[in-house]
């Protein structure tokens, strides 16, 4: 049966747009209420998790510690200490900070707060996730690999040294848990559960729909995993988008459609208005857009070629967008598409090895990869180039050859 479009006429689209706008206003209303509760007093005390902690230096050489914190109330903010702090990433802290200069716009973004004090606290309760992290880390000897796999499996932040090594070889998108990982985990769970489900289905409930039931089981397990990694924003938005896509699929609505993508993104922003100001969110949206653009024009080729060419297509297409924000480039990043393809095998293999307690089997080779020497360049996308490139990208939806031209135009950023 051929899939139907999300909307059959303009009237339905206008009606859906009005509903979404109303829901967005309601969502913003709840956020504003939370904001007013925060700033109702000049000083606020909050329990928070340390998402990141790093040292910075002023021009005069004075150093200070920067903290990125996620409060129990759900918002994320920055604060600093003007002395060296032993508080580690992942720790739980109590922080008292001033609220008088925090605007509603700041609240929706990651605002900065002047703290009165910040101190470590202990959290009682289930420590199963800590035991899992310790189990994974103990399988590696060096700090960079401990951080690498802690980020890969538990969405933990990595230190600056390890982060620079990851960025140098162009695998930041592979280490940060996102939709790519969600897709791999879903596929692994489906392949493992299908034979078991089929065994019971054939004997007790042959009338059940195996795909629908397995989808419910897989999404339930994914939600539990998301809970374990503390609702990582990148995984959360991928989960919501996947859930929404499955709903559309169950209604036989066309998923690979730019209209569907637009309303899916709108749906996520309505649920989580803070994502409007999330760079990583818009990177994800851009990535999905270019995947859809490739599939729209080249879905008729063999699946093997789709797998190979899609990795190169997305890498090249995303370059002007990425370099508008991040200006560091190394020749090693050109190997990123090959590493992305290898990751499809590497990720489930490492997952199995860590479960068996042999996660350090390939550490020697991974260490060599992280320590590869290269030359660093500054590649910055000018605003005029980005605007022109995005314009070409949107109109290339309607023309295959224009899409190819847009890809070539993308690569020209390195010659400007």
Structure tokens at 141: 């000897």
pLDDT in tens, the chain (416 residues): 567 777 777 888 888 889 989 999 999 999 999 999 999 999 999 999 888 888 888 877 788 899 999 998 888 999 999 888 888 887 889 999 999 889 999 999 889 999 988 988 876 545 678 888 899 999 999 999 999 999 999 988 888 888 889 999 989 888 888 888 898 999 999 999 999 999 988 888 888 888 889 999 999 999 999 988 878 878 887 888 888 888 888 888 888 888 888 888 888 888 888 888 888 889 988 999 999 999 999 989 999 999 999 999 999 999 999 999 998 899 999 999 999 999 999 999 999 999 999 999 999 999 999 999 999 888 899 999 999 999 999 999 999 999 999 999 998 887 76
What secondary structure letter does DSSP report for 276? G
Burial class (CB in 10 A: 0-12, 13-18, 19+), 306: middle
Fold for the domain defined by 38-121: OB fold (Dihydrolipoamide Acetyltransferase, E2P) (2.40.50)
Sketch the domain layout of the chain as residue ranges. Answer: 38-121, 179-272
pTM higher than 0.85 = yes
Q: How far apart are the first and last CA of the chain?
A: 48
**Distance of alpha carbon 66 from its chain centroid, rounded?**
22
Query: Closest Cα partner for 248 from 10, 15, 14, 16?
Result: 16
Instruction: Quote the CA–CA distance of 165 and 147 in Å, as a whole number.
Output: 12
The DSSP annotation for 191-230 comes to HHHHHHHHHHHHHH-TTS-HHHHHHHHHHHHHHHHHHHTT
Give the pairing type, strands 76-81 and 111-112: parallel
């Amino acid at each position: 049966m051929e899939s139907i479009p999300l909307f059959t006429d303009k009237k339905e689209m206008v009606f859906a747009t009005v509903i979404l706008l109303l829901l967005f206003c309601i969502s913003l209303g709840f956020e504003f209420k939370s904001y007013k509760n925060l700033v109702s007093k000049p000083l606020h005390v909050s329990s928070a998790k340390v998402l990141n902690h790093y040292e910075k230096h002023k021009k005069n050489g004075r150093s200070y510690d920067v903290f990125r914190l996620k409060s129990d109330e759900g918002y994320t903010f920055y604060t600093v200490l003007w002395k060296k702090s032993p508080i580690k990433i992942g720790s739980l802290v109590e922080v008292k900070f001033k609220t008088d200069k925090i605007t509603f716009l700041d609240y929706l973004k990651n605002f900065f707060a002047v703290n009165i004090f910040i101190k470590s606290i202990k959290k009682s309760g289930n420590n199963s996730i800590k035991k899992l992290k310790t189990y994974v880390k103990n399988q590696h000897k060096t700090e960079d690999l401990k951080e690498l796999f802690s980020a890969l499996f538990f969405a933990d932040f990595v230190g600056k040294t390890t982060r620079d090594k990851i960025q140098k070889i162009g695998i930041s998108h592979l280490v940060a848990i996102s939709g790519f990982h969600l897709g791999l985990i879903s596929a692994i769970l489906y392949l493992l559960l299908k034979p078991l489900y089929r065994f019971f289905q054939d004997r007790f409930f042959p009338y059940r729909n195996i795909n629908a039931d397995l989808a419910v089981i897989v999404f339930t397990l994914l939600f539990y995993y998301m809970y374990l990694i503390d609702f990582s924003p990148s995984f959360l938005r991928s989960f919501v988008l996947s859930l929404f896509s499955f709903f559309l699929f169950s209604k036989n609505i066309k998923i690979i459609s730019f209209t569907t993508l637009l309303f899916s993104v709108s749906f996520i922003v309505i649920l989580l208005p803070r994502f409007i100001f999330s760079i990583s969110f818009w990177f994800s949206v851009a990535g999905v857009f270019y995947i859809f653009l490739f599939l729209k024009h080249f879905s008729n080729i063999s699946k093997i070629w789709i797998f190979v060419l899609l990795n190169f297509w997305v890498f090249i297409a995303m370059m002007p967008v990425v370099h508008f924000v991040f200006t560091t480039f190394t020749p090693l990043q050109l190997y990123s598409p090959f590493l992305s393809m290898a990751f499809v095998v590497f990720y489930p293999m490492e997952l199995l090895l860590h479960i068996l307690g042999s996660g350090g089997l390939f550490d020697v080779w991974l260490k060599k990869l992280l320590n590869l020497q290269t030359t660093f360049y500054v590649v910055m996308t000018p605003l005029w180039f980005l605007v022109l490139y995005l314009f070409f990208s949107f109109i290339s939806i309607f023309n295959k050859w224009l899409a190819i031209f847009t890809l070539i135009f993308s690569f020209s950023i390195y010659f400007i």
